[in-house]
């Protein structure tokens, strides 16, 4: 047995350790199922394994160090699971490793510097993990064969290393981290297509080395602190054929001018909003919400033939040597898992040649019926393969052997690797008339008993272990089928299958909470009760159980699962799984040991938060929300941001929660225009609602900005949004206008730098402006909070990063050398008395 292929079969349960005994195994393909548990150590002892694909399951735990024994493995695909812990540095000895995909997991620790020793590594893709503030190793600049480096949203810090020594680097994504310093001045590889350094803390000027990169499709430097001038040499070398597009994203920096020509070729798009240069009326065309030259080309077939001339299941072969050649195509669902480009259009012809040459077909036999970018980014396609046209007597169908050959090429990964197109996966291979009776080895929506029995019979003679494995898989598939049937009989609820999250049974939930014992109850809201639970593997979780007649019902339940399953950020609560069984609906989240922000702002809180901790919570919350607005695909408006929906983990890191009311942000229409708002029924929490949204029912990203501004005011004052008929926005505004700001500051947060408090308060009030256009964007909010954070005394920011909040004891004022001169104790400061220097005592809230 050389191939074990159970892709996309809805299998649940754990991976049998007995697979480790199939020593001849070359392909282990378990991706696209609902497998749980940890990775068996025994898999590391498969001496002939070429490809291991366990991506898009619910695997947890660590990567066994035994995997360092997989000397022949080229493809290591474990993305979209819940794998945690450190990437074993021992894997750096794998001599043949080509693709290493571990994105969208829960990895921590550091990036192993030893990976620079991997002699054949072409793709390193580990984005959307949390590497504990690790730096990018300098040694990564020595990866001689690396084509793609994707480390997006990994909580990385420090400078960007010199990567100019990587001769074939074609794709670089380091966005949404905490990288600082300047952009290295040396030129990257000439074949690079994508450079994304957005959403970091980069400073300095934009280097000139971006000017001579002929294949560059996208340069994203937005949401940094880059300054100086933008040179037009970046786009002046572009031809104007309209195919090789270049996207330049420079929003929200400190750029002061454009040096050179501002006449863009028609295939170049430039975004500059949020830079000082936007005050120049000559540059205003680059500072709107849409850039000039932002257009797409269509590649749909234009073959026109007489209607009804192709009877089903035949259809026109769009690219055949003659018009109106009727043939029966083979249908494939196909996905590029790590494409080395951002814009597919210039690479379509190359893709036709790459795939058809790998399949030994003519290019006209392949037709891309549709394609769409998916989270990752990954590129999904619907493909059609048509029979060869020779002459008027050409066959209009593939023969059975050719169908089997083509299917085997896909499922056996016999198509040669390509750096540009990266690894692929076959999502579906649909055999309709006239091919439905052809037997091929292809993925399907389920495994039949007969198919598995055939595998067992073929293995009986020399592989008793394999029979046991297949029997286990039959049992799991049938058990899952039984549960599905049982749910159909006893519940009218929608059956849900969502990648990336675990489907729990009611029994598992009951065991985790001691049958929902009242001692495990930790909260209650409009949706239902929240319980603290312990799963069978010891994981601590929060289980949100919908109550009967809940205001939020099936629609919100499905929305929350779908949204949370595809967003990954350290400042967003992670969804572990759900339960939709026995007339119950439950959501299972990571447990936040320090409860809600509202808990710590109430008068009953025994752990008052210092100002530095409050500022850190505000910054973390804003980063989580800007991820929803700009990084989620498609973008998301939260719609119910409030202090009780901001949770705090054991280290008091803020995580935004509760997506039950979320709405997808507007998407471009057929002409590529993005609507400014979503029209919707008003939902949310009184006191946090955007006034314009309430009046017009038009939801925008600025609606979330308003709600977050109210949370900022809560952080500063300790007050609730509405209390005893008083509104927090109005009350703080009155104090602000009367120069009585410090009379409303929460007295429990100890001493604080007054300059930082004033800036934070001014930002909060700006967020709470009645008019949408008067509010800052979320990117501007994050930038201002970071500026305030950098103003803070180092002693305060260090204390804020400790696990336990301070006791409330007064902090010694900083010396005169501090960059923040004014320092007061909040409980002793009152409004206009600041001018005279008198500090009367005010009773803390």
Which segments are annotated as binding site for ATP?
544
DSSP, res 572 = B
Candidate from 435-439, 446-450, 674-678 with smallest mean pLDDT: 446-450
Tell me if 243 sits within 8 A of 346, measured CB to CB. yes
pLDDT of residue 694: 67
Fold classification of 3-230 is 3.80.10
Q: How confident is the model at residue 455 (pLDDT cuts 50, 70, 90)?
A: very low
Look at residue 458 in the predicted model and tell me its pLDDT: 42
In the DSSP assignment, the letter for residue 200 is S
Is pLDDT larger for residue 74 or for residue 494?
74
199 pLDDT exceeds 70?
yes
pLDDT(307) > 70: no
Q: Identify the weakest region by mean pLDDT among 76-80, 459-463, 814-818.
A: 814-818
Check pLDDT > 90 for residue 84.
yes
Give 469's pLDDT tier (boundaries 50, 70, 90).
low
- Give mean pLDDT, residues 645-673: 66
Please report, rounded to a whole number, the percentage of residues in the chain having pLDDT higher than 70: 78
At 395, the pLDDT band (50, 70, 90 cuts) reads low
* Pick from 286-295, 374-383, 630-639, 809-818: least confident: 809-818
Q: CA 430 to CA 131: how far, in whole Å? A: 41
Assigned CATH topology for domain 502-590: Phosphorylase Kinase; domain 1 (3.30.200)
Confidence check: pLDDT of 489 > 70: no
- Average pLDDT of span 213-235: 91
pTM of the entire structure?
A: 0.61
pLDDT interval class at 363 (50, 70, 90): confident
Q: Which two tokens stand for residue 254?
A: 């400190």
Question: Is residue 450 predicted with pLDDT exceeding 60?
Answer: no
Any catalytic annotation for residue 640?
yes
Of residues 799 and 186, more confidently modeled: 186
- Summarize the confidence of residues 138-150 as an average pLDDT: 94
3-state secondary structure of 208: helix
Determine the pLDDT at residue 210. 87
Of the two residues 322 and 551, the one the predictor is more confident about is 322
Residue 837: pLDDT above 60? no
Predicted pLDDT at 328 = 86
CATH of domain 603-836: 1.10.510.10
Cα 30 to Cα 53, 460, 761, 825, distances in angstroms: 6, 22, 53, 60
Q: Residue 82 has what pLDDT? A: 93
Q: Which of 640, 658, 690, 704 is flagged as catalytic?
A: 640
- Listed by start position, the domains of the chain span 3-230, 315-430, 502-590, 603-836
Residue 672: predicted pLDDT: 40
Count how many residues are written for the chain: 845
Give 812 or 623, the one with higher predicted confidence: 623
Q: 566 pLDDT band (50/70/90 cuts)?
A: confident
Q: Is 840 exposed, middle or buried (0-12, 13-18, 19+ CB in 10 A)?
A: exposed
DSSP letters spanning 608-660: PPPHHHHHHHHHHHHHHHHIIIIISSS-EE-S---GGGEEE-TT--EEE---T
Provide the mean pLDDT of the chain: 79
DSSP string for residues in 289-340: SS-TT-------------TT-S-TT-EE-TTSSSTT-EE--EEEEEEESS-S
pLDDT band per the 50, 70, 90 thresholds, residue 211: confident
Give the least confident one: 176-185, 678-687, 801-810: 801-810
pLDDT digits (tens, 9 = 90+) for 590-643: 899 888 998 898 877 777 899 999 999 999 999 999 988 888 766 788 888 999
Which pLDDT score, from 0 to 100, does residue 650 have? 86
CATH number among 1.10.3470, 3.30.1380, 2.60.40, 3.30.70, domain 315-430: 3.30.70
Binding residues: 544
Place of tokens 């919400």: 289
Taking residues 713-741, what's their average pLDDT? 87
Q: Residue 739 contacts by C-beta under 8 Å, 6 or more apart in sequence?
A: 831, 832
Q: What's the rounded mean pLDDT across residues 575-603?
A: 86
Looking at residue 20, what is its pLDDT?
94
Q: Where are the alpha helices (DSSP H) in 163-301?
A: 233-236
Percent of the chain with pLDDT over 90: 38
Nearest Cα to 826, choosing from 742, 702, 714?
742
Mean pLDDT of 787-811: 63
């Amino acid at each position: 047995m050389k191939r074990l292929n159970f892709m996309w079969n809805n299998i649940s349960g754990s991976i049998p350790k007995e697979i480790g005994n199939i020593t001849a195994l070359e392909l282990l393909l378990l991706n696209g199922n609902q497998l749980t548990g940890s990775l068996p150590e025994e898999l590391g002892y498969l001496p002939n394994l070429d490809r291991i694909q366990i991506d898009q399951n619910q695997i947890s735990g660590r990567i066994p160090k035994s995997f360092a024994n997989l000397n022949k493995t080229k493809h290591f695909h474990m993305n979209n699971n819940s794998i945690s812990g450190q990437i074993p540095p021992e894997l750096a000895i794998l001599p043949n490793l080509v693709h290493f995909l571990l994105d969208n997991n829960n990895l921590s620790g550091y990036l192993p510097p030893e990976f620079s020793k991997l002699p054949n590594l072409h793709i390193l893709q580990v984005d959307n993990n949390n590497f504990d503030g690790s730096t990018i190793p300098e040694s990564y600049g020595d990866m001689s064969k690396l084509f793609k480096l994707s480390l997006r949203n990994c909580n990385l810090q420090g400078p960007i290393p010199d990567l100019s020594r990587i001769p074939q680097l074609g794709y670089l994504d380091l966005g949404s981290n905490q990288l600082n310093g300047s952009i290295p001045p040396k030129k990257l590889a000439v074949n690079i297509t994508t450079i994304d350094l957005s959403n970091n803390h980069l400073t300095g000027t934009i280097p000139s080395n971006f000017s001579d990169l002929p294949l560059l499709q996208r340069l994203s430097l937005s949401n940094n602190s880059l300054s100086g001038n933008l040179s037009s040499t970046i786009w002046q070398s572009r031809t104007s054929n309209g195919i090789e597009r270049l996207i330049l994203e420079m929003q929200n920096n400190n750029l002061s001018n454009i040096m050179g020509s501002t006449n863009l070729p028609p295939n170049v798009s430039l975004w500059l909003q949020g830079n000082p240069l936007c005050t120049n009326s000559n540059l205003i065309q680059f500072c709107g919400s849409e850039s000039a030259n932002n257009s797409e080309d269509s590649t749909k077939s234009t073959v026109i033939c007489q209607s009804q001339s192709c009877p089903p299941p035949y259809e026109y072969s769009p690219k055949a040597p003659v018009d109106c050649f009727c043939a029966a195509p083979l249908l494939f669902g196909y996905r590029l898992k790590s494409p080395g480009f951002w814009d597919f259009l210039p690479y379509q012809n190359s893709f036709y040649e790459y795939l058809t040459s790998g399949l030994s077909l003519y290019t006209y036999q392949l037709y891309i019926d549709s394609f769409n970018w998916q989270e990752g980014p990954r590129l999904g396609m619907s493909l059609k393969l048509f029979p060869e046209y020779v002459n008027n007597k050409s066959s209009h169908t593939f023969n059975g052997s050719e169908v089997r050959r083509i299917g085997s090429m896909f499922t056996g990964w016999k198509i040669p690797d390509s750096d540009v197109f990266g690894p692929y996966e076959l999502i579906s291979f649909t055999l309709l008339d006239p091919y439905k009776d052809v037997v091929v080895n292809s993925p399907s929506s389920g495994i039949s008993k007969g198919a598995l029995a055939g595998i067992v019979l073929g293995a009986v003679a020399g592989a008793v272990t394999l029979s046991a494995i297949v029997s286990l898989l039959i049992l799991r598939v049938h058990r899952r089928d039984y549960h599905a049937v049982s749910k159909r009989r006893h519940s009218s609820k929608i059956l849900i299958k969502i990648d990336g999250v675990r489907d729990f049974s009611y029994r598992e939930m009951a065991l985790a909470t001691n049958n929902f014992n009242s001692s495990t109850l930790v909260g209650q809201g409009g949706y239902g009760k929240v319980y603290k639970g312990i799963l069978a593997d010891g994981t601590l979780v929060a289980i949100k159980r919908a109550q009967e007649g809940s205001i939020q019902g099936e629609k919100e339940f499905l929305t929350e699962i779908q949204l949370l399953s595809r967003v990954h950020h350290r400042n967003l609560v992670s969804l572990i799984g759900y339960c939709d069984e026995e007339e119950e609906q439950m959501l299972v989240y990571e447990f936040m040991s320090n409860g809600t922000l509202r808990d710590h702002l109430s008068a009953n809180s025994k752990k008052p938060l210092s100002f530095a901790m409050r500022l850190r919570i505000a910054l973390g919350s804003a980063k989580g929300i800007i991820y929803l607005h700009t990084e989620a695909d498609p973008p998301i408006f939260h719609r119910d941001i409030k202090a009780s929906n901001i949770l705090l983990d054991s280290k008091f890191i803020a995580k935004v929660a509760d997506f039950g009311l979320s709405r997808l942000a507007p998407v471009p229409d057929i002409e590529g225009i993005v609507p400014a708002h979503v029209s919707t029924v008003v939902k949310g929490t009184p006191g946090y609602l955007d006034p314009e949204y309430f009046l017009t029912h038009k939801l925008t990203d600025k609606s979330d900005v308003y709600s977050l501004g109210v949370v900022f005011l809560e952080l500063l004052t300790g007050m609730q949004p509405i209390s005893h008929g008083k509104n927090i926005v109005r009350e703080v505004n009155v104090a602000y206008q009367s120069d009585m700001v410090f009379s409303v500051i929460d007295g429990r947060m100890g001493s604080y730098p007054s300059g930082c408090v004033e800036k934070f308060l001014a930002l909060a009030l700006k967020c709470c402006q009645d008019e949408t256009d008067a509010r800052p964007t979320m990117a501007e909010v994050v930038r201002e909070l970071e500026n305030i954070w950098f103003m803070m005394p180092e002693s305060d920011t260090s204390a804020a990063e400790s696990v336990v909040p301070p006791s409330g004891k007064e902090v010694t004022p900083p010396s005169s050398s501090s960059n923040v001169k004014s320092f007061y104790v909040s409980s002793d400061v009152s409004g206009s008395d600041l001018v005279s220097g008198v500090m009367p005592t005010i009773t803390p809230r």
